[in-house]
Amino acid sequence: MFAVLVLSITVLFLFIYAPKSAKLKKLKNELAMIEASMNKVHAIIGEKEDLGKGILRMRQEADVYDAKFIKPKEISGLLQELAQEARLQNLEVVSMQPSEFFLSYSDKGNTLSVDGQECNTINIEMNLIGSYRSLIEYMSILEAKPAQYLLINRFNIERQTTSDKLKVHITVCSFALLDKKPQRR
């Protein structure tokens, strides 16, 4: 009887308990790894209860940052917008010339990049003629632009001797994320 009991316990242990115990241990380890990953996601996105809201917030933040970079096909529209806004402020647009895109560098000399794309800068040289008041209005509009990230890089004013108008040279720059160009050999 004792031998049958020991044999039964041994069979139950070897064929039922040990495999189930090993499987349970493996599942506990997987659960711990998943919880650790989820904790990392929650640390980035937000509280566990607000996971959907956190993802939506991150998408909105990404859209805001994406809007700060101009697309190359939007340059002509930006030029038209800058000229139109200058005219609305009673400034005469004498000339407007965009540069080619060129790489942007950090203070340490490294190429700036985001998600495999290189940050490029485009300068727009503008010559305007108008009153001081019109110029101030135009500059405040440029600085408040929400759609594109514009930066007034250079600014030079000359007073014309023959009239009360100012001759203004402004360099405005904008930034774009462009795919990396292949290295030339």
Supply the range of the domain harboring residue 150: 72-179
Q: How confident is the model at residue 47 (pLDDT cuts 50, 70, 90)?
A: low
Residue at 185 is within a domain: no
Residues 99 and 57 in one domain: no
55 is a domain residue: yes
- From first CA to last CA, the distance across the chain in angstroms is 85
Tell me the average pLDDT across 70-90. Answer: 88
Paired residues of 159 in beta bridges: 166
Note the pLDDT tens digit of each residue in 82-134: 899 999 999 999 999 988 888 888 788 888 777 778 888 889 999 999 988 89
Residues 62 and 88 placed together within one structural domain of the fold:
no
184 falls within a domain: no
- Structural domains in the chain (count): 2
Distances in Å between the Cα of 102 and the Cα atoms of 86, 119, 123, 173 are 26, 9, 9, 11
Q: Are residues 139 and 157 in the same domain?
A: yes
Model confidence over 24-37: pLDDT tens digits?
999 999 999 998 88
Question: Worst-scoring range by mean pLDDT, 31-40, 57-66, 146-155?
Answer: 146-155
